[in-house]
Amino acid sequence: MGSFKEYEDHDALGLAERVAKGDVTATELLDEAIERTEAINPKINAVVLKHYDEARELISDGLPDGPFKGVPFLLKDLHLLWEGTVTTYGSGAWEGYVADHNTTLTDRYLEAGLVLFGKTNSPELGLTGTTEPRLYGPTHNPWNLEHSPGGSSGGAAAAVAADILPLANASDGGGSIRIPASACGLFGLKPTRGRTPAGPDRGEGWAGMSISHCVSKTVRDSAALLDATTGMAPGDPYLPPEPERPFLQEVGAPTGKLRIAFNTKRSDGTKPDPEVEKSILDTAKLCESLGHEVVEAAPTLDPVAMGNAQATIIGANVALTLEQRGEALGRSLTENDVEHITWLMANAAKDRTSTDYAAATLFIHQMGRMMGRFMQSHDIYLCPVLGTPPPKLGVLDMMTEDVGTYLANLGKIMPYAGLFNMTGQPSMSVPLHWTQDGLPVGVMFTGRFGEDATLIRLAAQLEEAKPWRERKPLG
């Protein structure tokens, strides 16, 4: 597309290697990323805030000698702040909000040599599994523009899938890395709770359910970025087990014979879409062919109790967020300031008590104990990411007045991923299946708490056995 014709032939580490060798400059890579953004973004609406001048300034000031020196990168327009730039949280209530400091993770991205050049679309406050905010409009799935790219990191996933860049920042509080990775045919790892920092403004997101990382084309990019960003910052509330060695060294390392439990059914016992069921059954056979022991087994779940706990914790955080924004604006926010579902969640939280919140946090910790016992007998748990292939845009409309249908659709489409936000376990979506209509369907592997390395080794093995990188959307 631009002067560097080999841009999309390389992953992020590959681009950094070319910069290090002097084959291409950081400016040339940035120019390529900007040209692709301007050409492709009008079709998909993935990049909603452009920071081209700031990116050029980063380069002119001199980039650190990090593992991704010179590689273009996008932040999600949600919790990561970059001093002097706008972050809207996908909401008109924050339109024009300029950060006066960096988040810790932003600093680590910059230290890794990444060239930040914009921010990607997110649903309002990251509250749903699609990316269709009223503020910016919907992001379109590059594999089929009528369909959702997932959420809440849908803008990030669409940008990577469309080859604007090889990896981008994403976050996951209820599946928001894994869901868009599944919908867009990418690799998406949600790390163990506390593996990447949430500071300095927060100790945790949503009672520890939320964490930031990325979506990527390759496993090794995700592993290397985790190496660059992992580790406690002063005051962090969680200390996950230290890795035995860099995560990048796990790529290509022997997996050993893993005991993998698999399940296709939703937590209420119903079957998912046939394409989704097929993706899991085919993946189970693939894992068996790679020498792993595969058994059908699943934890016993209470979907109603899980939903109530999530609603209590997330709703309370939404209510606090709106209250704090109102204080910053010098007025109380009204229903007109935010989307309908956001407003309902915040107001529902006001009917719950502090005891309800304490009970919800106790519940998710009990879920962690339950899954810890289940995982004593299994190294990996395999199940769907989504209950359906990527839905069409409009199915999860946060402006809808038909809340019952919205909640029913939510339960049908995304009943799986949130469990592992509750438990804090590392969990990943791996792009191993496409429907007959050409839509991606990821499969979800979850490991024991702290054993991100096991997932990375398995992901690399699957990437070699059934490569996905050469699949291209948008014709």
Q: How buried is residue 467: exposed, middle or buried, by Cβ count under 10 Å (0-12/13-18/19+)?
A: exposed
Which residues are CB-neighbours of 370 under 8 A, at least 6 positions away?
299
Q: Which of 227, 220, 246 is nearest to 459 (CA)?
A: 220
Q: Single out the catalytic residue among 148, 176, 267, 427.
A: 176
Distances (CA, A) of 397 to 314, 319, 407, 410, 473: 18, 20, 10, 10, 25
b/e map 12-44, b = 16+ CB within 10 Å: bbbbbebbeeeebebebbbbbbbbbbeebbeeb
Q: Is 427 a catalytic residue?
A: no
Q: Single out the catalytic residue among 69, 76, 119, 217.
A: 76
Dihedral of the alpha carbons of 318, 410, 472, 190, in degrees to the nearest 10: 50
Q: Single out the catalytic residue among 91, 122, 148, 152.
A: 152
DSSP 8-state assignment for residue 98: B
Backbone angles phi, psi at 38, to 5 degrees: -65, -30
CA distance 447 to 454: 7
Q: According to DSSP H, which parts of 202-353 are helical?
A: 219-229, 274-289, 303-329, 340-350
Distances (CA, A) of 151 to 140, 259, 312: 11, 31, 20
CA distance 366 to 354: 18
Q: Is 76 a catalytic residue?
A: yes
b/e map 358-397, b = 16+ CB within 10 Å: eebbebbeebbebbeebbeebbbbbbbbbbbbbbebebbb
Please give the positions annotated as active site: 76, 152, 176
